[in-house]
Structures are given as C-alpha cells and as structure tokens.
Structure 1
Amino acid sequence: MSEFTINCKGKLVELDTPKVMGILNITPNSFYDGGRYKSDSDFLKQAETMFVDGATFLDLGAYSSKPNAEFVSVEEEAQRLLPVLELLLKEFPDALISIDTFRADVAKKAINSGAAIINDISGGMLDSNMLQTVGELGVPYIMMHMRGTPNTMQQFTQYTNLINDILYYFSERISSARSYNIKDIIIDPGFGFSKTLDQNYELMQKMELFSILELPLLVGISRKSMIYKLLGTTPKEALNGTTVLNTISLQKGAKILRVHDVKEAVETLQILNKIL
C-alpha cells in the first residue's frame, strides 16, 4: 500500500515516487515568467512541453504572489484563469491541473470547470470560506506557510523558533482542514514567503523534520530570490541553483517539486531514483 496517495478526479496518484508540477502563470507580472504567454497557442504549447517533459501536474495561477504584487479582484482572477483552464482541458482532457488561488470563489469555479487540486498559499487564512469550500469539493488541498499577505509578508519574518513555529502553524491548519472533511492534504513550507534569505536556508537544512506531520511535502524554490540573491545573479540565471536545491529537497523528503523547468526537474528525479 502506498504511503502517500491523493485522489485527483477519481484517479489515485501515488506520491511515494516523487512527482513534478509545472508552473504556468497567467499573470502579466510574475517574477520569472510573467507575461510570457500571450495567446492560446502559447499556453497550449507550454503545457504540451511540460507534459512531454514528464510533469504529472500543472499549476495554473492568475494572481502573482511575489512580494508587493498589486491587488487583483476576484472577478479579474477568474476571468484570467477559467478560459485558459478550459482551453487546456479541451486539448488535454486527462490533465491534472492544480489551481494556485487563495480565494474560495475562484477555487470553486475552477474545480467545477475540471481542475483537480487547490494550491492555497495562505492555508485558508486569507479567505474564511476556503476550507469549507475545498471540503465540499472533495479535492486535494495544498496548504502553504505564509504570514500576512503577498503584499505584507516580508514584514513578518520574526520567529521564536523558525521550524517549531511553522510546525505549529501546520498542526493548527491541518486540524482545521480535517474538521471540514479535507482528506488529501499536501504541505508546502513556503520558501520565500515571510522568510529572510537565511531563514529559507535554515528551513531547507531542517526540512526532514516536517516528516512528523506524516503528509506529502511540496517544495517550490524554482528560480526564487533565495537562489539568485545568494549568488548575485537573476531569476533567469537561477536554474542551476534550482536543481541543486531540488536535489537536496528530494533527499529531505519532498514528494512534489513545483518548477518552471520540468525537464531538468524530471532528470533530477531520474538520477536520484537510480542512486537510491
């Protein structure tokens, strides 16, 4: 029996063998690929490339969560997201698409349009209806650690004990999610969110401690500032650093890698699987 299995649209996906989630941003302002995809054919081509390269999931987001990102209304987020979701599912009907949103209304519309997973950077803290909605929809839920909002999160980097504080946050959030009958929960420690550069590396160093939660772990460090600021480069030049941290993440128990570069992440998995 698989230790970690999630139910996506009636299909059981086992996560004992780690999987790759490709990032597809429908935002004009994401830190790395914002505004890159301008037409239906751009989205379809990128999705196809990611699936061919070995992505198990695609993660669609229509609200940039980079620090100080501008506000987007619920209506605009849905208007950006749903047409692209429907386009992708028409072309790839079996695709397992995750929706990167912290809003219950957007989550509900997306799942009703055929999405499979909700990926919430706020763990239900930014919309009081989110946990109830996900419980009623009966879909897997990725809950991330963040304090404040994307706009304010970098003001909240004071911790008594970084790992203990984040574990306490998750124990409380998991308990709340279970009370709303959310069965499949995935944990995202939230690299880059409400954390300084040093705290991000402390989190990476001690990440195996999250195994105490007995839930699958998602890691999203793709091309983030913890890499390029340390190395004095740019997001564009951060693929090598991303691969290094993805390798360490897998060794420390990550079950899903959320990445911009699917091919390289899948190769990382293949090499590690061969060794292990």
Structure 2
Amino acid sequence: MPPRDGGRGSPGETNANPFAARQWQLGSGNMLTLGPKGLLVGVLNVTPDSFSDGGDNLSPEAAVRSATAMVAEGAAILDIGAESTRPGAAPIDGTQERARLMPVLEAVRAALPEVPVSVDTYRAETARAALEAGAQIVNDVWGLQHDPQIANLVAETGAGLIIMHTGRERDVLADPIEDQRAFLSRSIEIALAAGVRDAQIVLDPGFGFAKDPAHNAALMARFAELHALGYPLLVGTSRKRFLGHFTGRQAEGRDVATAATTALLRAAGAALFRVHDVAMNADALAMADAMVAAGHRDGA
C-alpha cells in the first residue's frame, strides 16, 4: 500500500469502521458525508448503446426529466456518462464524447444546481470540460491507468475522484481480492503522487468489468476485505450481466437482483451505490441501514 497523506486529508486508519462518518471532498469546496447512511448514485447514460438504458436520455430535456425523477426518488448524486462501457460497445473519441455529454450536463446542472454531478469518463480533456461546467466528481473506469492526467486534474481542482478496478487488457491474479489490492494500490499511488488528497478518493471494485460470474460472486462474498484499502467504497452492480447469469433475467428485469446486492453490500460496508432504478434501491438501502443501525445500538 502507498503511504497515507495524514494531515493532507486522511480518511482514517486502514481498518476504520466503514459505517463511521467521514467527509468526501468534492469540487467547488463541497463535502459529502459518507458512512452512517448509504447513498445512491443515479445513472444517467447519454448514449445510444448502453446495455440498459441506451437512447433514453440523449436530449437535454429527456435527461433533465430522468435526473429530476431520480433525485425525487432518493439519488444523492447523478453520474453522467457519454460512452458505453458494456462489453463489445463501439468506442468513440473524445470529441464525440464531449458533444454528447456537455449539453446534457449543462442542462442538468441548471435544473438541479444543488445535486452533485459525477462525470463517467477516462479522458482528462473530457473531465476538465465537465468540471468547468459544474461537475464535482470524476468517475474513472480505468482507475487512472489509461489517462493518468486525470489525477493531476483532480489534484488541481479539488474534485472528488472515483477510482474503479478493471481486469480489462491485462493479466489478472487468480485471487479476486489480491487482484483488487494490486490494481487499486497502483491507482492510489498515481493519485497521491499527483497531489490528490485521501479525502477526495472513493474506490469502486468494478463489478462486471472483465469478471466472470464466479469472480463477481466471490467479490461480493469477500467484500469486507476491501476495507483494508482504507477508502470509502462505491459499488455498481445495477443490471449487470452476472446478475442475469444467476437469475436468468435480461437487463430490464434485474432490478430486484440489484436491490438484493445493494442490501447485502451495504451490510458489508459499502458507502455508495450506482443504480438505474433509484426507488427500488432506496427501499433496499433503507432496510439495510436500519439493520446496520440496530446492530450498532446493540454493540455488534
């Protein structure tokens, strides 16, 4: 593990209670409390080809309607992405990505200025444009290992940073937790070397990204081991293909399975949940939070 930054914003000891309050530093000097209650991140895909909701939010007007509904249902953050990350999706370049993203981002920020917005991108140029337009978080599905300049940008702007694990385009270790530690430790090193503060960082184990169903199930079963990395954890299981492997359902029918993983992973200490169906997952999270709170009252 890389050294922690101590006075530069350390979130605490590496084995800290994941349900204890800690502040996540976002852009524009804002902070978000993580730990005592799970928070929902509403997915807003500005793509024609995402596996679940491709084409639903291409216009700013449609995106604002979707975003407003998700916030009303309980989303604390909106995550906007303009390039599909599903397996086999056609790649686009940064110019295309920004052409899709920016009109929607600007419209959502104007309609919901109080709601933090995350931009789902692995390109520093796109991330910069989004932060300048009011986004407060960068969600990098390559964990800074595709474009390390994102780390410099986040250090410069003080934005929140989500570092995701992926198994794409590399050899992976047989043990899923060891592979998480190896990849994410390298990403953390890149971030800290660029001047990113610990308090800006959230980690995402990347459910479904170059992982087979057994790997995803093992990652859920051993999820609590990831707290040794010392950072808050976000999870994105929503409608993923591995849920269909276990339930036999297509993407649009996987919301119940998603909610089940939300409850299970909240009990294991996850702080943030990236979801498509906010209302259903809000109910699952409410029950999980009640159980967690009762356990703490009883001294568990």
Q: Are 2:239 and 2:252, in contact at CA under 8 Å, matched by a contact in 1? A: yes
Aligned to 2:17: none
Output aligned runs, 1:85-100, within 5 Å. Answer: 85-100=105-120
Asked if the contact 2:167/2:211 (under 8 Å) is kept, the reply is no
| TM-score w.r.t. length of structure 2 | 0.86
The correspondence for 1:179, drawn from 193, 212, 221, is: 193
Work out the CA distance in 2 between the residues paired with 1:54 and 1:267. 10
- Aligned residue among 127, 132, 145 for 1:125: 145
Offset, 1:157: 7.0
Q: In percent, how many aligned pairs have the same letter? A: 32
| Counterpart selection for 1:5 from 6, 14, 23 | 23
Contact 1:140–1:182 (8 Å) recurs in 2: no
Higher mean displacement: 237-246 or 169-178: 169-178
CA spacing shift, 1:164–1:125, aligned 2, 3 Å: same
Cα displacement (A) at 1:256: 0.1
Measure how far apart 1:85 and its partner are: 0.5
Alignment of 1:204-223 (within 5 A): 204-223=220-239
Runs (4+) of structure 1 moved beyond 4 Å? none
SS of 2:97 mapped into structure 1: helix
- The superposition leaves residues 49-72 of structure 1 with CA deviations (integer Å, 9 ceiling, x where unpaired) of 011111110000001000111110
CA RMSD of aligned residues (A): 1.5
Partner Cα distance (1:132, 1:12) in 2: 20
The equivalent residue for 2:33 is 14
How many Å separate the matches in 1 of 2:255 and 2:148? 36
1:272 corresponds to 2:288: yes
Q: How big is the shift at 1:144?
A: 0.4
Which string of whole-angstrom CA distances, capped at 9 and with x for unpartnered residues, describes residues 205-241 of structure 1? 1000011011100000001011012222201111111
CA contact (8 A) 1:100 1:121 kept: yes
Contact 2:202 2:231 in 1 (8 A): yes
User: Partner letter of residue 4 of structure 1?
Assistant: R
Is the CA contact (8 Å cut-off) linking 1:166 and 1:189 kept in structure 2? yes
SS of the aligned residue for 1:56 comes to strand
> Structure 2: which amino acid aligns with 1:223?
R
Q: TM-score, normalised by structure 1?
A: 0.94
Shift of 1:38: 4.0
For residue 266 of structure 2, what is the amino acid of its counterpart? L
Aligned-pair distance for 1:37?
Answer: 2.3
CA–CA distance in 2 between the matches of 1:40 and 1:134? 26
- Once residues 128 and 141 of structure 1 are traced to their aligned partners in structure 2, the CA distance between those partners, rounded to angstroms, is 12
The residue type paired with residue 275 of structure 1 is M
| Counterpart residue number, 2:91 | 71
> 1:97-154: CA deviations, max 9, x gaps?
0000000000000001100100000011111322112211211100000133xxxx5x
